[in-house]
Amino acid sequence: MKIDRKRDVRTVKQELKVLRQLEGCKYVCSVHGKGDEDGRGYIIMDLLGKNLAEARRHDYGDKMPVPVAKVVASGLLRALESFHTEGYIHRDVKPANFAVSPPGEDATAGRWILIDFGLARRYVGEDGALLPERHDASFRGSTTYASINAHEDKDLGRRDDLWSWFYILVELIEGEEGGIKAGDISKLAEHRR
């Protein structure tokens, strides 16, 4: 169950709108109910297992073995591809926004589900044509996993979700404390300003 806080009302409504349009997508959780109680909206969704950040820390420590990371990264990529096929970009791809299904399943055996669509946006119109680039875009996402385009306040596209996926892959293999940190590459944009 996701319950909005007062400041999240628009985000939760946006997420519900996206979830309703993605019914039937096997890499997105299903909505089982929604409502409003005391001025706070809520959504009841599928119960999922650990998110990727929790699975990595709990099951593998700081970093995953390369064969495990390859299987997990492929599962994440399938979820993103499915989401993009539906005409959406996520704009906040990070380990905490992927959860394994069913609950209790191993990271390599379960299906990775994309969650948290509060920042999601359609990139194609109803006619299937690409929407024009917006020139007044502002930063979206999580700084550690955001693409250089996000740091430069450019309008985001599918490529930017894939850059975030790549940063996750680097972090899975190298760990948060070793070698290159996933966010180091994206932070280059900050130095170019």
For CA atoms 68, 71, 73, 79, give the dihedral sign: negative
The answer to whether the peptide bond before residue 65 is cis (omega within 30 degrees of 0) is no
Q: Which residue has the tokens 């996701």?
A: 2
pLDDT at 2 over 80: no
Facing residues of 113 across strands? 99
> In the prediction, which pLDDT does 189 show?
47
Over residues 11-40, mean pLDDT: 88
Report the range of poorest mean pLDDT among 52-66, 86-100, 122-136: 122-136
Q: When comparing pLDDT for 6 and 29, which is higher? A: 29
- The CB-based long-range contact list for 106-111 (8 Å cut-off, 24+ gap) reads 106/59, 107/50, 107/52, 107/55, 107/56, 107/59, 107/60, 107/64, 107/68, 107/71, 107/72, 108/68, 108/71, 108/72, 110/49, 110/75, 111/26, 111/27, 111/75
pLDDT at 54: 95
Catalytic-labelled residue, pool 4, 8, 92, 116: 92
92 as an active site residue: the answer is yes
Residue 9 above 60 pLDDT?
no
Q: Where are the domains of the chain?
A: 2-45, 52-192
pLDDT of residue 128 exceeding 90, the answer is no
Percent of the chain with pLDDT over 90: 63
- The CATH number, out of the four listed (3.40.190.10, 2.40.10.10, 1.10.510.10, 3.40.50.170), of the domain defined by the range 52-192: 1.10.510.10
pLDDT for res 192: 44
Mean pLDDT of 42-66: 94
- pLDDT tens digit string along 64-106? 999 999 999 999 999 999 999 999 999 999 999 999 999 999 9
What is the model's pLDDT at position 98? 98
**pLDDT of 39 higher than 80:** no
Q: What is the pLDDT of residue 135?
A: 78
